[in-house]
Amino acid sequence: MEHSKQVRVLQLNDMEKLDKRLFRLEQGFELQFRLGPTLQGKDVTVYSNYPPPGAVYDRQTFHPLQWHNPTGREEDSDKFCKLDLKIAGSFQYHFLQGDQKNGEGYIVVDPVLRVGADNRALPLDCITLQTYLSKCLGPLDEWEDRLKVAKEAGYNMIHFTPLQTLGESRSCYSLADQLQLNPDFSRPGKVYGWDDVGKLVEKMRKEWNMLSITDVVYNHTAANSKWIQQHPECGYNLVNSPHLKPAWLLDRALWHLTCDAAEGKYAAKGLPALIKTDQQLNSIRGIVWEEIYPRIKLWEFYQVEVDKAVKQFRALLTSGAQKKGNKSDPKHLMIIQDPEYKRFGCSVDMDTALNTFIPHSNGPSAIEECCTWFRKRLEELNAEKHRQMNFHHEQAVNCILGTMTYERLAGQGPKLGPITKKDPIVTRYFTFPFKDMSLSEEESMMHQPDKACYFLAHNGWVMGDDPLRNFAGPDSNVYVRRELICWGDSVKLRYGDKPSDCPYLWEHMKKYTEITAKHFHGVRLDNCHSTPIHVAEEMLAAARSVRPNLYVIAELFTGSEYIDNVFVNRLGITSLIRVLAGCC
């Protein structure tokens, strides 16, 4: 008996933006768009990037949908346009009223997973998955016996942690080379490659009725990756991200504090190498406030050189460059941040200054009076920057002490033991691929592009942060406030807004994605919540061009169902990973 096609209806309403609403559908369904009450009788055109029959999917290309009118009457409320859903993924739609965009949303079409020699479908709600730590599996020719345990236990899917070459830390998620299979899986005289892995995965699918997925890690790479050292533009460094210079200088100052504390130089001030009490721990607060902050003077990176600015202002007044018109409020004069973040490199808009401080005559005394008022305003602006930096300083100290309390004193913490270069006061936020030198010498390197490009920001996560915000961007103070839970073995990757912003990185990660999709039935998006969503969109589109029925799992912790839906909609996520309360 032939089953009738299942139909789902999506009602369109005026000015309805549904990017946070999830519409999940199955392949084989017919999706009908119908006009809601607010759009009845209006000229509406619906567009979707779901490809027409015979066309190749391109998420940037939208096609108009044809209206079907069962009765032939233009005013009939039953008219609809439709999509016959035959491919998996995330698809957008929007509609115009006349020539004005009036609403939009997403649809997510589930993949169809198939197992066995007969390619029978494996229902998504029947998946039982077992994770294997790939680095512990040994040589590839020994995997089958180890993996068979999961088969005999009744699992029908295996999740392999990354199979790529690992970084120095040997962490499963700190990859040194995204394109190369971990050489630990080979034997002397027998080198295995991706095709060998693919053969095993296909055997498991056909003979064991088991599918396989693995991780894709887009957010970071191992700090010792050769390619990041050859292409430092792929990370956040002090050349392409000069706003990180103050945070980098603080990081270096804390490193020097580590070295001195490890040698016992601060024992007399209450900070021994081995911290055993809260009192010893709190002595760091005084040391940082009394020694480190006054030495590095981070506020100067956000301030104006007052004498230089007044001299320029006086020269303009003397030359007769006064502005005419209504006098401005002095509060309109604001500091313009120096894009290179040099000490006292900031400026103010001189046109605003000339229109604010207007001399009552051209005489020297009138000009000097204006310069005095201008100087006073600059000093007020500098003082405000100093107060803002002190606010960041206070948070930085709190974060430092919070981290040290957990790592060295807390019963549930790792109890790191003495302060050493291996176990510093706090994890370093930046790479430093040069020998240690004095802090002043290191600061001079900060403005030398041939060296500063190698000072790369490490990755991590920020508790309670907005997952759609880039915490390494110029509008974030996470690094200078020491709010990052830092992974010192990994460098945060800097994609920019589009492939042309960092061509090598986008191409490298696209190859990585295509290799993964070729050999595995699905992917687990590691750290999806802090991976740039437009990057994940592009990469998953590349993966689905290789494997249309790609199963996508995401490690997604946003704290909001609606933000979850943004990721699910835009990426076509099939399943989410959650952590149970009380688990770590």
pLDDT digits (tens, 9 = 90+) for 497-536: 999 999 999 999 999 999 999 999 999 999 998 899 999 9
Per-residue pLDDT tens over the stretch 388-405: 999 999 999 999 999 999
The predicted model gives 343-349 an average pLDDT of: 97
SS3 of residue 230 by DSSP: helix
Q: Is the per-residue pLDDT at 1 higher than 50?
A: no
The predicted model gives 100-108 an average pLDDT of: 93
Architecture of domain 113-226+497-577: Alpha-Beta Barrel (3.20)
The pTM of the full predicted model, rounded to 2 decimals, is: 0.91
Q: Is the per-residue pLDDT at 324 higher than 70?
A: no
What is the per-residue burial (b if ≥16 Cβ within 10 Å, else e) of 191-213? ebeeebbeebbeebbeebebbbb
φ, ψ at 108 (rounded to 5°):
-120, 120
Helix, strand, coil percentages in the chain from 3-state DSSP, rounded to 5: 40, 20, 40
C-alpha dist (Å) from residue 148 to 154, 192, 212: 10, 20, 13
Q: Is the per-residue pLDDT at 326 higher than 80?
A: no
**Residues 266, 415: Cα–Cα separation, whole Å:** 21
Q: Is the per-residue pLDDT at 582 higher than 60?
A: no
**Residues 226, 51: Cα–Cα separation, whole Å:** 40
Domain ranges within the chain, ordered by starting residue: 7-109, 113-226+497-577, 301-375
Report the CATH number of the 7-109 domain: 2.60.40
Beta strands 458-461; 485-492: pairing state: antiparallel
pLDDT band at 584 (very low <50, low <70, confident <90, very high): very low
Confirm if 66 and 124 have CB atoms less than 8 A apart. no
Confirm if 178 and 508 have CB atoms less than 8 A apart. yes
What are the residue ranges of helices labelled H in 181-236? 194-207, 226-230
The predicted model gives 165-170 an average pLDDT of: 94
Q: Is the per-residue pLDDT at 325 higher than 60?
A: no
Write down the pLDDT at residue 77.
66
**Residues 188, 182: Cα–Cα separation, whole Å:** 14
Q: HSE on the CB side for 291, CA within 13 Å?
A: 13
Structure tokens at 281: 């721990």
Structure tokens at 114: 């198939």
